[in-house]
Amino acid sequence: MDNAIENFYRILRGMTSCEVTIHKDSLKINITDIQEFINELTLKILVKRENMLVIEEDKKTGTKKEIKKDYIMIQEDKKIGGKVAFKENIYKPEKTKEIIAYIMKSLLGKEKNQCILCGRTYEYKIKNLQQASYPMVTKISSLSGVRSYKDGIKLSLKDYYDNVCPLCYLLGILEWTDEGVIYRTFPGDFSLLFMPIFDNLKDLHNFKNYLIYAGLINKDSRYSNIRVHIDAEEVENTPGEYSTLLCFYEKFIENATNVNIAKKWAVIKIPFGAVKNIRIDSIDINEGILQIIKDLKEEGLVERVYTDLFKKIFFYSSQKKTIDWEITRGIQEKLSQLFLYNDFKSFVYYLLPRKGGYVSFFDRRYTQKYFEDLVYTWRWKKMGVPKEKLESIRSVGNIISKICESNVSLLYKMDKTRTIEEFWSVMREIARKLPNLKDKQLGKIRPSSLDEVIVLTKELVETNKDAWKEIRDLIVIYAAMYYSLSKIQKQKNGGD
């Protein structure tokens, strides 16, 4: 609802027939000339209507035609002359003005009815409550009606579809024209609509206003509106919900201003097909993670976490002897999600080799460096331990990866340790297996690193008894990384 109010503010702003001001939790609208207001609003709506459309070329005839964006839940009539014809009267250019006049008359008329959404009184309704103006409504009355007892005995479901005031209708139906939200469509499957949430309407407005005017989004694109680069036509092709958000954040931070960044989002999932029961997720991003994205960028370590790093991670299927794109996109999405939720333990899990293949990197040299910079900035820095000590952990990860060349179970064993005793036990097992490595494998390995890590862990658990878990996760992530790197190397040399 807040997004719809904010969108309405941007529509009214600059009109001469009314004064509008935005406050923490309200809009104040003072209409000075009602007839002129109806005229101006009509024109504005017809301009905003364009935001719901994209232009595509017909593959057969080569002619250009309008297409309704896939997430918009307003029904459409057959196109006439390549133009979209919405079934909603307010979006029929010849009827817009009439509807606006009708809305104003009802709002200023007799106090006959009361709105279930806002409590305002009005004379007559425009339409029943429908998904087009309020997407949370479903066709199943048990989910959207209000339960009550008929005669005090039988349960009946009375729905309040009809008690919606013309203003709520107007705000809701206009929200589809909002160019300050993010969308991503997976053709034939579903669309995602990301609505930022703020406690304060003014912050919400500043954020959306920035999105629109900074050139971060391309409203003329059908399946995604996050631009690859500011002002570029090309848009991102992210694999899911969280990768889209992360991709958005890296762009936002790259063009950092002092605008408050949205940390909470309502994500509406709208399926393709006739019956549209939508799902709403609310996402609350860990604030510390946004700082990490900023630090990585400002220190010149990783420019773009998603594009330079997660997007460069792929899954190689040993059976198919090629990249498995479905699993790859699943992993890229999971890594984005777990990073945004600051869940390092689960993040590490998705990098482990698994049945049928292993995770690997494109642009190996750069990606490996970015990867290490991410691990350092995200996990190590906050522990307050000198960076050199991370070398020992890295080296133990390397030892495990070498041992795992013949059998990966040790890596899983380390990942699964749940107590510090189990952790020591796996460290002892590594020490026992070390002499079995061939001289060639031992090349760059520093066996003394095992002792260094043991000493370091003992030191750290004295002040924080859970610190060993961090060491465990770091060892596992380095082992997974070295394992992948050696696999790529072998593949290049002709092996699998």
Binding residues for Zn ion, rule: CB under 5 A, are: 115, 117-118, 120, 165, 168
Residue 115 or 289: which CB sits closer to Zn ion?
Answer: 115
CA gap 290, 76 in Å, rounded: 40
- Distance of closest approach, residue 157 Cβ to Zn ion, in angstroms: 22
Least distance (Å) between residue 488 CB and Zn ion: 60
| Minimum CB distance to Zn ion smaller for 122 or for 482 | 122
Q: What are the residues whose beta carbons fall under 8 Å from the beta carbon of 418, sequence distance 6 or more?
A: none
Helices and strands per DSSP (H, E), number in the chain: 17, 17
Min dist. Cβ of residue 4 to Zn ion (A) = 11
Residue with tokens 């995602």: 192
Nearest distance, CB of residue 118 and Zn ion, angstroms: 3
How far is Cα 271 from Cα 116, in angstroms, rounded to an integer?
27
Cβ–Cβ under 8 Å, residues 305 and 296 = yes
User: Quick one: DSSP state of residue 89?
Assistant: G
CB of 102 to Zn ion, least distance (A): 15
User: How many whole angstroms separate alpha carbon 423 and alpha carbon 417?
Assistant: 6
Among residues 112 and 150, whose Cβ is nearest to Zn ion? 112
Contact 332, 241 (CB under 8 A): no
Burial 208-241 (b: 16+ CB within 10 A, else e): bbbbeeeebbbbebbbbbbbeeeeeeebbebbbb
CB closer to Zn ion, 168 vs 313: 168
**Minimum CB–partner distance for residue 69 and Zn ion (Å):** 26
C-alpha separations of 397 from 174, 176, 401, 468, 482 in Å: 55, 51, 6, 15, 7
Nearer to Zn ion, 120 or 202 (CB): 120
Angle (deg, nearest 10), helices 448-463 and 467-492: 150
Phi, psi (rounded to 5 degrees) for 203? -65, -40
Q: Which is nearer to Zn ion, 119 or 435 (CB)?
A: 119
Q: What distances in angstroms separate CA 261 from CA 201, 246, 255, one per listed residue?
A: 13, 13, 12
φ/ψ of residue 437, rounded to 5: -70, 145
Structure tokens at 397: 């990860």
Q: Which is nearer to Zn ion, 26 or 436 (CB)?
A: 26
Rounded least distance, CB 58 to Zn ion, Å = 41
CB closer to Zn ion, 31 vs 116: 116
Question: Measured from the CB of residue 5, what is the shortest distance to Zn ion in angstroms?
Answer: 11
DSSP label at residue 162:
T
Whichever of 115 and 192 has its CB closer to Zn ion, that residue is 115
Non-local (6+) Cβ contacts of 148 within 8 A are 155, 156, 157, 158
Least distance (Å) from Zn ion to the CB of residue 122?
8
Give 115 or 285: the residue with its C-beta nearer to Zn ion.
115
- Nearest approach in angstroms of CB 168 to Zn ion is 3
